[in-house]
Amino acid sequence: MITDEQFIINGLAGKKTLEGKINTPGAKNAVLKVLAASILFSDEVTISNVPDIEDVARMLELLEDLGVVVEKQDSKTYRLITSEILTHEISTEISKHLRASIVLTGPLLGRLGKVTFPHPGGCVIGKRPIDFFIEGFKILGADIKDTGSGYEIKVKKNLKGNTIFFKNASVTATENFMMAGVLAEGQTIIKNAAMEPEIVSLGEFLNECGAQITGLGTPEITITGGSLLSGKDKIYHTMPDRIAAGSFVILGALAGKKLEVTNCEPKHLESLLYSLLSAGVKMEIKKDSIIVYGRDSKLTAFDIKTHEYPGFPTDLQAPLAVLLTQSDGQSFLFETIFEGRLNYLETLGRMEADVKIIDAHRALINGPKSLKGREMESPDLRAGLAYVIAAIIASGVSTIHNVYYIDRGYEHIDKSLRAIGVDIKRV
């Protein structure tokens, strides 16, 4: 439910005083896809380490609307009973707040042979076309009708396995057609597939429950279609959120005395950690935690080009830009995934950061520059957290509106930050 809550943050004015431990929650981008995959199961799915975030709440609402019975077993564990899927229509009202709603289309089309869905919503960060989905479904034998407000997709009997080549590697499209292929006839081959850890995690769980998927973590994934899966006596444990963990590491480098990011997977953060180490950040990397010694770190400017995994994640680009405002020298930022994702830099400029937006994909940042607290409006999930980080290191008080966007992806972020010494209030 969207509210008008705000964060009021009293900044540290550049002091590096934050210390303690900050926990990495379950990954938003993993759990949403496993929730969608529940439609492929004849009986039930149990999911643990589920983050308490707005996007999960919306996805559960969508599933209940489709006929899934949702049982909350404890604060982090849900059991989904999927023996009956009652409708092929994805709710327009709920979908407009959740971009990830589109990953329900593949499982529904595979199970029911038809799906009706609206144009998906979520964050507005440039062009995010769904051409991949429309073209992919045609290749798998579906008939598609554009209704103006959305799409109606049908197959005569079952989806037919085929080869799909993505012009650009897409995480969501890879996951969607991987799930569609589970119930398609014959083999579905995805070429130029995305390789993110969340895709591997989803595929491995589906295999554990009866799917036949090979090539996970490579650019070519093969799915041999079969029957509905069974999740009885199996539990999916949601992997750590690498974007949240990476954001906390960046915060530690900027404002930490000694900050430990716990329950994370450092192997999923190699592109970020390598960049930070080369820029002068002092860190101790353990098996499932990262200790950042911000007070001992002297930040040197460096260039970043976002890229599909295992390259630098686009979702960490905005938090990293805040770090670059405090790094000595000039940095070049090149966002290759989304158009218009650099617009938040104008707000950092109003906080007196030295930033120059060259075009929709490129920017220059000069540092170090002391930031001043400001009133800000969160434009999307990732830029919203970047504003929080900027407000923490700034002097004075900052007010951040549109907290709903931040709550979509970061579990009780204000409580986590208060526990390590941030003066943040939710009002």
**CA gap 284, 79 in Å, rounded:** 37
**CA gap 281, 12 in Å, rounded:** 19
DSSP state of 5: -
Q: Is 123 a catalytic residue?
A: yes
Annotated active-site residue in 102, 108, 123, 184: 123
Nearest to 243 by CA among 218, 264, 212: 264
Structural Rg of the chain based on CA atoms = 22
Nearest to 426 by CA among 76, 417, 16: 417
**CA gap 48, 220 in Å, rounded:** 29
**Strands 163-165, 187-191: pairing kind:** parallel
φ and ψ of 77, to 5 deg:
-125, 130
Which amino acid is located at 25 in the chain? P
| C-alpha dihedral sign at 133, 135, 138, 142 | positive
**CA gap 121, 323 in Å, rounded:** 30
Any residues with CB less than 8 A from the CB of 274 and at least 6 apart, and which?
Answer: none
C-beta separation of 403 from 8 below 8 A? no
**CA gap 160, 185 in Å, rounded:** 5
φ and ψ of 204, to 5 deg:
-65, -40
Nearest to 73 by CA among 199, 191, 235, 225: 235
> Active-site positions?
123
